[in-house]
Amino acid sequence: MASERKVIQESMRRVLLKDFLVQESARAGFGGLDIQRTPMGTRVTLVCERPGIIIGRRGELIKQLTQEIQSRFQLDNPQIEVMEERQPALNAQLMAEKLAGTLERGWHFRRAGHSTVRRIMEANARGCQVILSGKLTGERHRTERFKAGTVKYCGEAALLQIDKGFSQARLKPGVIGVNVWIMRPTVKLPDEVHVKGVAERPKAAPEEGPVAEEGTAPVPDAPAGGAPPS
């Protein structure tokens, strides 16, 4: 029972830490989080679009953030590493955050959904899907999907090769859930088989007939089934 409680507490701590870092890095563009336990402590890798806002001048903001995480979440020697997302249009979490912000600014959900899908596909993604669920137009809950390209829903391709992001748009009628799925351009699906070409054999050199000596006439070939002419 003690081990089960420990697992539950660790999972709750990770969820609360993610919510805290999402709020702290909202201006920098939150793109993902990875927490790893190492012999030296806890390494937190934060992916964002503009890392300079998190780091601050001479690293002052990142030091304050590290101290606050250690005191609030009781992590062992936390070390925060900030990475820049060089392709923000292919980061599902970052696009979900941007779409949620767009809805909060008053965009119509159809316009925002189609605009997000178009931006992702213009970044050469193989496929993407945007799912909006909540009170989109009235008092009743509904779900709208915007899809383009190839998207896998089951199997190894759906688990390992699709980047998924989730965010929430808080509006006056209620909260709208935003799900973004992206299949990156470098993904190779299991059903894609490439057959290598068979190497061609080198052609044999053509056989040359007897070469006549200089100043003499060429010797004619012997007729079939007979002796050469006298």
Instruction: Report pLDDT digits (tens) over 144-192.
Output: 999 999 898 988 888 888 999 999 999 998 999 999 999 988 888 877 7
- Asked whether residue 207 is assigned to any structural domain, the reply reads no
Q: What is the pLDDT of residues 79-102, one digit of tens each?
A: 888 888 888 899 999 999 999 999
Return phi, psi of residue 10, to 5°.
-65, -40
Same domain, 80 and 96: no
| Domain end (from 56, 84, 112) | 84
Same domain, 119 and 40: no
Q: Are residues 117 and 165 in the same domain?
A: yes
Q: Please check whether residue 112 lies inside any domain of the structure.
A: yes
Q: Is the dihedral of CA 88, 93, 99, 102 positive or negative?
A: negative
Does 215 reside within a domain?
Answer: no
Mean pLDDT for all residues in the chain:
83
pLDDT at 212: 53
In a domain, 213, yes or no: no
**Average pLDDT estimate for 49-65:** 86
Give the closest residue to 127 by CA, choosing from 99, 166, 102, 164: 164
* 20: phi then psi, degrees, rounded to nearest 5: -65, -45
User: Are residue 63 and residue 116 in the same domain, yes or no?
Assistant: no
How much is the pTM? Answer: 0.73
CATH of the domain at 59: 3.30.300.20
Q: How large is the average pLDDT for residues 68-89?
A: 85
In terms of residue numbers, what domain contains 56? 9-84
177 in the same domain as 92 = yes
Q: Say what the pLDDT of residue 92 is.
A: 92
- Quick one: what percent of the chain has pLDDT higher than 90? 31
The answer to whether residues 113 and 179 belong to one domain is yes
The fraction of the chain above a pLDDT of 70, given in percent, is 85
pLDDT of 119 reads: 94
107 shares a domain with 179: yes
In a domain, 198, yes or no: no
pLDDT for 214 equals 55
How far is it, in rounded angstroms, from Cα 19 to Cα 75?
Answer: 16
- Label residue 215 by pLDDT band (50, 70, 90): low
Domain-terminating residue out of 65, 84, 103 = 84
Domain boundary at 84, 111, 136, which? Answer: 84
Q: Give how many domains the chain has, as a whole number.
A: 2
Q: What is the CATH number of the domain that holds 169?
A: 3.30.1140.32
pLDDT score recorded for residue 209: 59
- Residue 198: per-residue pLDDT: 61
What value does the mean pLDDT take over residues 141-146?
93
Do residues 79 and 122 both lie within one domain? no
Do residues 42 and 36 make contact, with C-beta atoms less than 8 angstroms apart? yes
Q: Are residues 73 and 16 in the same domain?
A: yes
